[in-house]
Structure 1
Amino acid sequence: MSYQESFINYLKYEKRYSSHTVVAYKNDLDQFADYCAVVVGEFHVKEVINDTVRGWLLHLMEQGLTPRSIHRKITSVKSFYNYLMKEGVVEKNPAANLTLPKVRKKLPGFVDEQSLAHLLDDGENFTTDFSGIRDKLIISLFYGTGIRLSELINLKEGDIDKRAKLIRVLGKRKKERIIPYPAEINNLLESYVVERNKEIGHKTEFLLVTNKGKQVYEKLVYRVVKKSLARITSLEKKSPHVLRHTYATHLLNKGADLNAVKELLGHANLAATQVYTHTTFEKLRDSYKQAHPRGG
């Protein structure tokens, strides 16, 4: 087994990273290995030096990659060598102490409350058959709980306590958290389960399924979200993560405590949640300008 394969297995089985993240790491390392093969002639992990990684950095910049993409790729190499140091394969990390291009902070996109209310409350946005009710439930769960795509896909019926209106999810690193959800989701859940059982005719392990009874998958959920959000917003990015951003932003706009939002989102530290305070601050500033006699 190569060092790269060993590292990828480490990310999969010990760090328990999502399949999407693991693929990104693998692609970055493959690209770095290809670069080394061209420049040096062959990729040997023990022979890579700081200048090799710096050369790749410059190569990526010349190719016109965004600073954010470059940061991710260098981080992949740095993580790989941190792993090799831990395993005693190398003594130094050649990706350490590099000056990286500055990443412009991008505020998360979100949808306004009125638009989401229109999407979910207007009876013409979703059909009343199995697929339509399921799609509406997908949007309602994303917006009503702020859960991640992987968490939604792996939901089981037993994870939902209808009486207490609580949902149990397994987040990153298999960390469990309990999230309250809006009461109106219960009616939607009941309608969905009835239609699902009629559609597929048997019980399933997972809550959300295709019309063939299989667990829903990432592309299907992305399509549902993109199609639904296209009805109400001109945001360029229309993804499950936008609904997660929207959930957090609306909570903070209504005065929710930042630490409470951190726990609901399943963030490991407060820094990850604080990005949402930028969007709520903009709203506060607009309110100030409108309300204060000298605010303008």
Structure 2
Amino acid sequence: MEQIVEKFLRYLKIERNSSEHTRTSYKTDINQFVDFLNSSDETRSAAADINAITRLDIRLWLGELSEMGLARNTIARKVASLRSFFKYCYKRGHIEKNPAHLLLVPKKESRLPKTVNPEGIERMMELADGEEPSDHQNLAVLELLFGTGIRLSELVQLSLKDLNFKQKQILIQGKGNKQRIVPLGKQSFNTLKRHLNTRYLLFGIKTDADAKKAVFIAPGGQRIYPRFVQRLVKSFIEKVSEISQKSPHVLRHSFATHLLDAGADIRVIKELLGHTNLSSTQIYTHTSVEHLKNVYNQAHPRAEQ
């Protein structure tokens, strides 16, 4: 079982080009399921032989997760992990029957994305602006995340060859190895150019051939990594907003919401975000509706009467 899981993770990395975060989540979910099988006398045989795993085993595990009080979104993700894993196992001939086939995914809770308002974004950029090479990079990271709406995984993968300053655009390697072109606004363009002028000063003892091709450099000189960006974004959002979530994805949410509030076509936003389906983008319309309600309540003379 352990060897099959490792093969599955290699498949995700090499053939699906899944991010490290995705692979880690899948591995955690699958290992938790295996631990559940090992902990019960009724399912121990299934833990020893992957072909002995049944749909009932999976349902028993999901029932235990529900009793533990896990959120529906978390359980839905774990179901998706198992479905993907067993689909792979079936297609590669590791199992004769797929126990997760047609397994229903719990309906996710509807939660509006957290965003930083325009005033907060402006203040954050002012605070990040400094004279040191590290300041130049910090500002460029924040401007690029908010100015283009790219994902954290897409940001850390950026290389110099992906930049096209002549056309003021960048090539993004998205989910599933899908590529898209995103435009650079004036602020993103200017801060990125300034960063590149002092980028070499961030090189260090860990700078290798890959780091020399990278747009952003972590302390020590290697290519920037997700945890560094997460800490950076959190530290600046904390200074300008009281929202509970303070991750790079908040800037992606803010990018989409501000565009929609300003009248941008949702289909254009879908392409900029790299969403496969419009349904993924439509969550931002709910945020925009809330914005419209707030404006109405504040501005209409009879709204509160």
Q: TM-score, normalised by structure 2?
A: 0.88
Please tell me the residue identity of whatever aligns with 1:256: A
Q: Which amino acid aligns with 1:55?
A: L
Cα distance in 1 for residues equivalent to 2:220 and 2:105: 48
Equivalent pairs counted in the alignment come to 294
The offset of 1:295, in angstroms, is 4.6
Identify unmatched segments of 5+ residues in structure 2. Answer: none
For the pair 1:226 / 2:239, whether they are aligned, the reply is no
Please say if residues 163 and 170 of structure 2, whose CA atoms lie closer than 8 Å, have aligned partners that are also in contact: yes
Asked if 1 retains the 8 angstrom alpha-carbon contact of 2:257 and 2:288, the reply is yes
1:72 is the counterpart of 2:77: yes
Give the whole-Å Cα distance in 2 for the aligned partners of 1:80 and 1:7: 7
**CA distance in structure 2 between the partners assigned to 1:255 and 1:247 by the alignment:** 13
Q: Identify if the C-alpha distance between structure 1 residues 115 and 41 changes in structure 2 by more than 3 Å, giving closer, same or farther.
A: same
Cα pair distance change 1:277/1:23, threshold 3 Å: same
**Residues 101-180 of structure 1 correspond to what in structure 2 (within 5 A)?**
102-120=107-125, 122=126, 124-180=127-183
What does residue 19 of structure 1 align with?
20
Find the counterpart in structure 2 of residue 57 from structure 1.
62
User: Which of 271, 287, 290 does residue 295 from structure 2 map onto?
Assistant: 287
- Check conservation: 2:128, 2:138, Cα contact below 8 A: no
* C-alpha separation in 2, matches of 1:186 and 1:213: 23
Matched, 1:82 2:87: yes
What is residue 8 of structure 1 aligned with on the other side?
Answer: 9
Question: Are the aligned partners of 1:84 and 1:90 in contact in 2 as well (CA < 8 Å)?
Answer: yes
Cα 1:36–1:198, aligned 2, differ >3 Å: closer, same or farther? closer
- Match of residue 196, structure 2, among 193, 196, 201: 193
Identity of aligned residues (%): 38
For the residue of structure 2 that corresponds to 1:108, the secondary structure is coil
Give the CA deviation at 1:178.
1.0
**Residue 281 of structure 2 corresponds to residue 273 of structure 1:** yes
Amino acid at match of 2:17: R
2:267 and 2:278 in contact (8 A); partners too: yes
Q: CA deviation at 1:274?
A: 0.8
Change (3 A) 1:241 1:3: same
Question: How far is the alpha carbon of 1:12 from its aligned partner?
Answer: 2.0
Q: 1:210 aligns with which of 213, 218, 230?
A: 218
Deviation, 1:101, is 5.0
Give the distance between the partners of 1:250 and 1:52, measured in 2 at CA: 45
Partners of 2:142 and 2:18 in 1: how far apart? 25
Aligned residue number for residue 30 of structure 2: 29
Counterpart Cα distance in 1 of 2:13 and 2:81: 14
3-state DSSP class of the match of 1:204? Answer: helix
Deviates more, 1:147-156 or 1:34-43: 34-43
Deviation at 1:117, TM superposition (A): 1.2
Structure 1 counterpart of 2:251: 243
> Which ranges of structure 1 fall in alignment gaps of 5 or more residues?
none
Counterparts of 2:75 and 2:219, CA distance in 1: 41
Q: Distance in 1 between matches of 2:89 and 2:277?
A: 27
SS of structure 1 residue aligned to 2:181:
strand
Structure 1: distance between partners of 2:57 and 2:33: 10
User: Residues 29, 294 of structure 1: CA spacing in aligned structure 2 closer, same or farther, 3 A cutoff?
Assistant: same
Relative distance call for 1:212 and 1:32 in structure 2 (3 A) is closer
Q: 1:212-261 CA deviation, whole Å, 9 max, x = no partner?
A: 43211111111110111111011111111000000000011111111100
1:131 touches 1:211 (CA, 8 Å); kept in 2?
A: no
Change beyond 3 A, Cα 1:93–1:195: same
Shift in Å, 1:186: 3.1
SS of match in other structure, 1:231: helix
Aligned to 2:270: 262
Alpha-carbon distance in 2 for matches of 1:64, 1:136: 40
Give me the whole-angstrom Cα distance separating, in 2, the residues matched to 1:62 and 1:198. 53
1:230 alignment partner, SS class: helix
* Greater Cα shift, 40-49 or 203-212: 203-212
Structure 1 SS opposite 2:167: coil
Cα distance in 2 between the residues matched to 1:55 and 1:187: 55
